[in-house]
Amino acid sequence: MAILGARVFSTQILVMSARLLIENDGGPRKADAIVVLGGDTYGDRTLKGAELAKAGYAPFVIVSGPPRLIGYESTDEIQFAEQHGYAASLFREVHLPGNAESTRTEGQFLGEYLEGQGVKSILLVTSNYHTRRAAKLWRKENPKLAVTVVPSADPGRYFRAESWWKTRQGQKMFVNEWLKTIAVMFGV
């Protein structure tokens, strides 16, 4: 019985520690724009942003991305969304400079862009495990901007709060995100 109790308790700790990484601001609400953060390996973030725009939460989706070997990550993401039936007119592509390699620098760069466009409120779409840290950084870097976080699910892939420890990729994502979250807490 003690072993069963310990296992249930340890599972609860693992789930709770993953849920601390996830922020959900109670669902989407109307905004001036939707911002999809770069680093969308599987297209889940971009499709979630497009789904929100199509549902009328904002008139357009800003897709950003750093330069790659050929072109920009954001170009590939928009093409991916088009292949899934979303109109190109839903998207605005913003090319990040080569030095925008973090959530903080992406927030700084896009914050200036958004201010120049007169955007006062956004839905910030990113992977579920990345939401708490991304929201904290975006709100700190852009205090005049109303930021509502909308997590993009990671369906059947690697990071699910209830089972992240069962896959190597899930474990790596968990540890990496917690290290980055702790660094942000210390102002790094």
| pLDDT category of residue 7 using cuts at 50, 70 and 90 | low
- What's the chain's average pLDDT? 89
Cβ-proximal residues to 179 (8 Å cutoff; 6+ apart), any chain:
none
Cβ-proximal residues to 160 (8 Å cutoff; 6+ apart), any chain:
154, 170
Q: Which domains does the chain have, with CATH numbers?
A: 24-159 (3.40.50.620)
Say how many C-beta atoms besides its own lie within 10 A of residue 161's C-beta.
Answer: 19
At 95 the pLDDT is 87
At 53 the pLDDT is 97
At 155 the pLDDT is 55
At 3 the pLDDT is 54
Q: How many CA atoms lie within 13 A of 118 on its CB side?
A: 0
For range 70-97, the mean pLDDT:
92
Say how many C-beta atoms besides its own lie within 10 A of residue 127's C-beta.
Answer: 26
H or E, element range at 45: helix 44-54
Lowest average pLDDT, out of 15-24, 25-34, 86-95, 98-107, goes to 98-107
Q: What six digits make up the tokens of 111?
A: 């914050």
Compute CA distances 145 → 62, 109, 124, 175, 176, whole Å.
15, 13, 11, 30, 27
Question: From CA 124, how far away is CA 62, in angstroms rounded?
Answer: 10
Nearest to residue 182, comparing CAs of 111, 119, 132? 132
Interval 111-158: pLDDT, tens: 999 999 999 999 999 999 999 999 999 999 999 999 999 998 765 567
Phi, psi at residue 126, to the nearest 5°?
Answer: -155, 175
Q: Is the pLDDT of residue 5 over 70?
A: no
Is the pTM here over 0.75, yes or no?
yes
For range 85-99, the mean pLDDT:
90
